[in-house]
């Protein structure tokens, strides 16, 4: 193994289809029109010296190192800013150029500290490399430049020019003495990330990079710690602290991030088995070399002291844990599960698969239920997040997944973002969206909160429809009303691609006065004029794409809203090409894959119903066992059945349902009623408080496999270090299956993928060899589309004709009133992820050390609440306390919090109301009251005490 060095072509690639031919240093070169001379040379294998140029940002032309001579032109133009032309003859190495470049480098080096041997960038410094490339041997101006200043000058006086290192950011350091003012970091922050947090202060040799306004440090600035500036920096000015601590890496492995559903590719750069840093991989088709603070830096949980590395068991949850061997733990678990089935029936146990584990691991867990347990009691966390996506898009389009790839955003003219907060939940995609918006695309935001996208540097939404929580269906149908009644629909598309009679029925429904913007304004709180303008923009603004998140699906009418969004796309013809579509932003790294793999109780892998005999036959032949033809239990059903005494055993891999699922008290009651709860995870999570067996898990760094992201992209996950607990998760599941008589004999995840491909049509041609060759593919990947399918429904819908379905608005049963006058909605924050089990064990807690309650100033004043006060948040289900954050990001009557910290247990507040079609919980609409508090509630203190008791581990003898 060696360090993967990606070629930096100096400037971005041209997308022109026209080509240009020229000569560079005597070589014939043909490149797309608009390509820079620098890039054309690099594509030929000729590296022109450069410092201010990198192919992640547009050409800048400031360093004057990349000069070339062009036949017939005067002077020595910069190759980065000079486009190629037909017949151009370029020389990159002449005596004149050599002299000029050495002169430029002399100026740089005269003002740069020469502590190369002790510099963190030694061996990975472009300034060092360029000095060698131009043959610099002497500096006529001396080596006493302004950047060599010390705390005190030569006579002991305080030196006003001295600037100390900025160590405020937990992950990287800023050393102003080493800055060459190439502006690459500033441009990366603007062009790649879109935050505009950095600037250049001063002039000439006094110039320095500055984070925000004068005097700010990086931590206190608007910097979001995405790492783009660090990656762009050619010296040690911006450098990962891990490089200071460990040294330069010596080999790297390309793998996939295990956080959100964007699915970013990274180079895990290593020294032996120690991870030095994660570097975004430029060939990653989902992220193209960009990252966020979580994927780039928040990997420390993998080596955190809280990790459990030995199996543990206990007879009762009131007992302390006892560390045992793998053999004893698996034997204990298997015997308990067999006994439960013998005593209570075959259907008395089940599994919950993980959206954080690989496709292969998830496939095995649902196979464990069906082929070993002999039932269909398998479910996944998608039940509580995106199950309405599967139902709604399946009913309308015929497939349960997003329609476009992320690259499609480059052709969007109008983006409709509803119930999603991409800058916090899917930041790499958000950066691409913001870039497109800065280029002129229009934005419609439908959200109760004023999310960052509504107004952020150089981006502003054309329309923000700040609807009342729970009224999504009414707003979406009102948009359809305008499109229908004003004749803005695409009749040709509908007649060709959809059922015209179904459309006419839906159009008649949408056109009813009850669905007009004026009528629904009283329900939604959104001005009718704003709805009409947004509808017109979506229908007639060009390529229109819908991006939605959990603010759509986590409602009692989540499935109805998804259907409504599909209706909007079909009626306007915004489906089946680049720049359009209906795109769910999946929350977790493999939530799409966990659904694809058959984790739902009614579906086998590939979204095929268990009552389909032909489908069952495929798996019965492959597995050699009969498969039940009736759906099993969903997660809520498992908990209900446990309370009723009929469901007794659960194998829960990589999910923390006690913290993530709604109505915490009901979840805890269900878990407490079970006689064997097996938790398979890397930490003793909240669910483990009720567990009898704990099987230590492995992180994404310790396993091979695949993740499937929100755009259906199947990405390789590659092992970069040995599993700290001894086994990868797929191996643990296999050991449990075999302890129960499964007789499985997989030796590598590639064999599991082969079984998936053999039994699941959309994965038919997927192999590790194909993924290694292509980098990634998007399903369906089969004989019809051997290289995958970036865009769905191009010539026709999967189901044949697109189906329009009426979207009646039915108000949630959760109502506000005198006791509970406010509406609570929940979500995520940039620095944290899901239940926080991973990110809370990293330095990301610097930005979010506790969950807080966002409350509007008007509501806070009515209750005598001030910024930072403890407040009690109470609903019909429970109560908790947390600190208040007073902000106008929420509307009056709406409060908002996150659920990243178990000390808050925000889901003790949420109710058991759920989506009518899928049982997806209604996290986004809970009637609450907020009142001043003195601190944690009695329930929180009792829960904390219980958790401490439940985590006791017997001392080793």
pLDDT at position 662 is 83
Does the global pTM surpass 0.85?
yes
Among 107, 352, 125, residue whose Cα is nearest residue 235:
125
- Per residue in 427-454, pLDDT (tens digit) is 999 999 999 999 999 999 999 999 999 9
Three-class SS of 613-649: HHHHHHHHHHHCCCCCCCCCCCHHHHHHHHHHCCCCE
Check residues 253 and 159 and name the one with the higher pLDDT: 253
pLDDT at position 156 is 65
pLDDT at position 141 is 82
Q: What span, in angstroms and rounded, lies between the C-alpha atoms of 221 and 289?
A: 24
Q: What span, in angstroms and rounded, lies between the C-alpha atoms of 44 and 24?
A: 8
pLDDT at position 342 is 97
Residue 656 confidence (pLDDT) above 60? yes
* Residue reference for tokens 């259906």: 712
Share of the chain above pLDDT 90, in %: 84
Please name the residues in contact with 94: beta carbons below 8 A apart, sequence gap of 6 or more: 69
pLDDT at position 956 is 59
Please name the residues in contact with 935: beta carbons below 8 A apart, sequence gap of 6 or more: 870, 881
* CA end-to-end distance (rounded Å), the chain: 42
Q: What are the start-end ranges of the E strands in 839-951?
A: 852-855, 870-875, 879-886, 894-898, 926-932
Mean pLDDT of the region 308-325: 96
pLDDT at position 924 is 85
pLDDT at position 152 is 56
Q: What span, in angstroms and rounded, lies between the C-alpha atoms of 534 and 67?
A: 49
Q: How far is CA 284 from the centre of its chain?
A: 14
Among 292, 584, 259, 288, residue whose Cα is nearest residue 430:
292
Q: What span, in angstroms and rounded, lies between the C-alpha atoms of 575 and 591?
A: 23
Mean pLDDT of the region 663-690: 95
Residue 944 confidence (pLDDT) above 80? yes
Q: How is the beta sheet containing 676-681 ordered, strand by strand? A: 322-323, 312-313, 693-696, 676-681, 649-653, 349-353, 378-380
SS3 337: helix
Residue 226 tokens, joined = 């995405």
Under 8 Å between Cβ of 414 and 545: yes
Among 242, 261, 197, residue whose Cα is nearest residue 833:
261
φ, ψ of residue 345 in degrees (nearest 5): 105, 160
Residue 194 confidence (pLDDT) above 90? yes
Residue 5 tokens, joined = 């060095």
pLDDT grade for 538, boundaries at 50, 70 and 90: very high
pLDDT grade for 921, boundaries at 50, 70 and 90: confident
Q: What span, in angstroms and rounded, lies between the C-alpha atoms of 871 and 937?
A: 10
Q: What span, in angstroms and rounded, lies between the C-alpha atoms of 304 and 576?
A: 45
Average pLDDT of the residues of the chain: 93
Under 8 Å between Cβ of 635 and 379: yes
Under 8 Å between Cβ of 728 and 702: yes
Mean pLDDT of the region 41-46: 96
Neighbours of 99 (CB within 10 A): 11
Q: What are the start-end ranges of the E strands in 222-375?
A: 238-240, 251-256, 265-271, 274-280, 312-313, 322-323, 349-353
Residue 206 tokens, joined = 């006094």
CA torsion sign, 763 to 769 to 772 to 775? negative
Q: What span, in angstroms and rounded, lies between the C-alpha atoms of 563 and 557?
A: 10
SS3 344: helix
Enumerate the β-bridge partners of residue 546: 416, 582
Q: Is 581 left (phi over 0), alpha (psi -120 to 50) or beta?
A: left
* Residue reference for tokens 């993967």: 4
Q: What span, in angstroms and rounded, lies between the C-alpha atoms of 23 and 41?
A: 9
Neighbours of 771 (CB within 10 A): 18
SS3 331: helix
Alpha carbon distances (Å) from 452 to 267, 551, 729: 30, 15, 37
**b/e map 554-589, b = 16+ CB within 10 Å:** bbbbbbbbbbbbbbbbbbbbbbbbbbbbbbbbbbbb
Check residues 721 and 587 and name the one with the higher pLDDT: 721
Q: What span, in angstroms and rounded, lies between the C-alpha atoms of 533 and 488?
A: 12
Share of the chain above pLDDT 70, in %: 98
pLDDT grade for 215, boundaries at 50, 70 and 90: low
pLDDT grade for 919, boundaries at 50, 70 and 90: confident
pLDDT grade for 835, boundaries at 50, 70 and 90: confident
Alpha carbon distances (Å) from 44 to 47, 48, 158: 9, 11, 52
Task: Kindly give the residue spans of alpha helices, DSSP state H, lying in 798-916.
Answer: 857-862
Alpha carbon distances (Å) from 673 to 22, 661, 811: 76, 17, 33
Under 8 Å between Cβ of 303 and 274: no
* Residue reference for tokens 């590659």: 718
- Per residue in 567-581, pLDDT (tens digit) is 999 999 999 999 999
pLDDT grade for 155, boundaries at 50, 70 and 90: low
Residue 799 confidence (pLDDT) above 80? yes
pLDDT grade for 830, boundaries at 50, 70 and 90: very high
Q: What span, in angstroms and rounded, lies between the C-alpha atoms of 104 and 139?
A: 10
Q: Is the peptide bond before 780 cis (omega within 30 degrees of 0)?
A: yes
Residue 375 confidence (pLDDT) above 70? yes
Q: What span, in angstroms and rounded, lies between the C-alpha atoms of 698 and 101?
A: 51
Q: Are strands 544-548 and 463-465 parallel, antiparallel or unpaired?
A: unpaired
- Per residue in 580-604, pLDDT (tens digit) is 999 999 888 999 999 999 999 999 9
Mean pLDDT of the region 487-500: 96
Alpha carbon distances (Å) from 676 to 317, 327, 379, 672: 10, 17, 17, 10
Q: What span, in angstroms and rounded, lies between the C-alpha atoms of 937 and 906?
A: 12
Q: What span, in angstroms and rounded, lies between the C-alpha atoms of 800 and 575?
A: 14
Largest Cα–Cα separation, the chain: 92
């Amino acid at each position: 193994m060696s360090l993967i060095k990606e070629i930096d072509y100096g400037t971005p690639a041209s997308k022109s289809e026209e080509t240009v031919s020229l000569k560079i240093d005597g070589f014939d070169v043909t490149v797309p029109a608009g390509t820079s001379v620098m890039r054309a040379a690099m594509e030929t294998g000729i590296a022109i010296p450069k410092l201010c140029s990198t192919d992640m940002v547009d050409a800048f032309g400031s360093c004057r190192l990349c000069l070339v001579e062009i036949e017939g032109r005067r002077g020595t133009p910069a190759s980065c800013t000079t486009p190629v032309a037909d017949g151009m003859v370029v020389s990159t190495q002449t005596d004149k150029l050599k002299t000029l470049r050495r002169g430029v480098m002399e100026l740089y080096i005269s003002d740069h500290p020469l502590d190369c041997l002790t510099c963190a960038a030694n061996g990975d410094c472009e300034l060092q490399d360029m000095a060698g490339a131009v043959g610099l041997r002497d500096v006529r101006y001396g080596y006493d430049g302004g950047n060599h200043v010390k705390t005190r000058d030569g006579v002991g006086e305080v030196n006003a020019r001295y600037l100390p290192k900025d160590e405020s950011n937990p992950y990287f350091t800023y050393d102003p003495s080493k800055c060459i003012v190439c502006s690459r970091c500033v441009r990366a922050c603007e062009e790649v990330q879109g935050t505009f947090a950095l600037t250049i202060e001063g002039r000439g040799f006094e110039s320095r990079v500055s984070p925000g306004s004068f005097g700010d440090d990086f931590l206190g600035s608007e910097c979001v710690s995405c790492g783009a500036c660090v990656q762009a920096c050619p010296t040690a000015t911006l450098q990962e602290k891990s490089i200071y601590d460990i040294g330069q890496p010596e080999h790297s492995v390309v793998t996939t991030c295990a956080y959100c559903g964007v699915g970013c590719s990274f180079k895990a750069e290593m020294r032996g088995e120690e991870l030095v840093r994660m570097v975004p991989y430029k060939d990653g088709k989902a992220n193209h070399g960009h990252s966020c603070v979580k994927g780039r830096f928040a990997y420390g949980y993998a080596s955190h002291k809280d990790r459990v590395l030995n199996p543990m068991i206990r007879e009762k949850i009131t007992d302390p844990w006892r560390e045992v061997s793998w053999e004893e733990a698996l034997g204990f678990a298997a015997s308990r599960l067999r006994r439960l089935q013998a005593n209570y029936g075959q259907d008395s146990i089940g599994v919950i698969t993980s959206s954080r584990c690989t496709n292969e691991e998830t496939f095995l867990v649902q196979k464990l239920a069906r082929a070993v347990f002999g039932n269909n009691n398998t479910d996944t966390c998608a039940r509580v997040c995106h199950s309405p996506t599967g139902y709604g898009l399946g009913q309308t389009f015929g497939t349960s997944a997003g329609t476009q790839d992320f690259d499609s955003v480059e052709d969007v003219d109008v983006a409709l973002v509803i119930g999603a907060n991409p800058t916090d939940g899917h930041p790499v995609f958000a950066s691409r969206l913001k870039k497109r918006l800065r280029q002129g695309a229009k934005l419609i935001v439908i959200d109760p909160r004023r999310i960052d996208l509504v107004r952020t540097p150089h981006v502003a939404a054309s329309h923000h429809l700040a609807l009342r929580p729970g009224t999504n269906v009414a707003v979406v149908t009102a948009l359809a009303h305008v499109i229908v009644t004003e004749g803005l629909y695409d009749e040709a598309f509908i007649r060709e691609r959809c059922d015209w009679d179904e459309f006419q029925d839906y159009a008649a429904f949408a056109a009813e006065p009850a669905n007009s913007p004026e009528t629904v304004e009283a329900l939604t709180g959104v001005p009718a004029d704003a709805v009409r303008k947004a509808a017109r923009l979506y229908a007639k603004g060009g390529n229109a794409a819908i991006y939605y998140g959990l603010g759509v699906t986590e409602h009692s009418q989540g499935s109805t809203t998804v259907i409504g969004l599909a209706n909007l796309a079909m009626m306007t013809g915004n489906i089946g090409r680049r720049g359009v579509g209906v795109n769910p932003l999946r929350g977790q790294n493999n939530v799409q894959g966990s659904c694809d793999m058959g984790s739902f109780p009614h579906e086998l892998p590939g979204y095929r119903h268990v009552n389909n005999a032909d489908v069952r036959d495929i798996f019965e032949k492959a597995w050699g066992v009969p498969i039940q033809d009736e759906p099993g239990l969903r997660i809520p059903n498992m908990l209900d059945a446990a309370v009723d005494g009929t469901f007794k055993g659960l194998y829960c891999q990589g999910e923390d349902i006690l913290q993530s699922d709604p109505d915490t008290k009901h979840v805890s009651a269900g878990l407490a009623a079970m006689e064997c709860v097996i938790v398979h995870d890397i930490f003793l999570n909240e669910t483990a408080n009720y567990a009898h067996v704990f099987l230590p898990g492995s992180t994404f760094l310790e396993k091979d496999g695949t993740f499937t992201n929100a755009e259906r992209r199947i990405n390789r996950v590659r092992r970069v270090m040995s599993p700290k607990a001894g086994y990868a998760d797929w191996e643990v599941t296999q050991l449990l299956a075999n302890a129960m008589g499964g007789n499985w004999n997989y030796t590598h995840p590639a064999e599991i993928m082969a079984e998936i491909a053999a039994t699941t049509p959309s994965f038919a041609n997927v192999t590790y060899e194909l993924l290694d060759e292509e980098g990634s593919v998007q399903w369906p990947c089969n004989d019809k589309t051997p290289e995958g399918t970036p865009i769905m429904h191009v010539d026709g819908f999967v189901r044949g004709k697109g189906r329009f379905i009426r979207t009646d608005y039915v108000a949630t049963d959760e109502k506000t009133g005198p006791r509970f006058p406010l509406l609570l909605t929940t979500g995520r924050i940039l620095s944290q992820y899901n239940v926080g089990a991973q990110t809370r064990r990293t330095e990301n807690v610097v930005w979010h050390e506790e969950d807080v309650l966002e409350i509007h100033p008007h509501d806070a004043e009515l209750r005598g609440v001030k910024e930072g006060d403890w407040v009690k948040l109470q609903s019909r289900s429970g109560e908790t306390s947390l600190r208040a954050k007073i902000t106008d990001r929420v509307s009056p009557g709406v409060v908002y919090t996150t659920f990243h910290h178990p000390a808050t247990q925000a889901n003790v507040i949420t109710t058991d109301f759920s989506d009518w079609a899928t049982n997806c919980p209604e996290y986004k609409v809970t009637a609450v009251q907020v009142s001043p508090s003195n601190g944690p509630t009695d329930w929180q203190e009792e829960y904390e005490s219980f958790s401490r008791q439940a985590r006791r581990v017997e001392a080793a003898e």
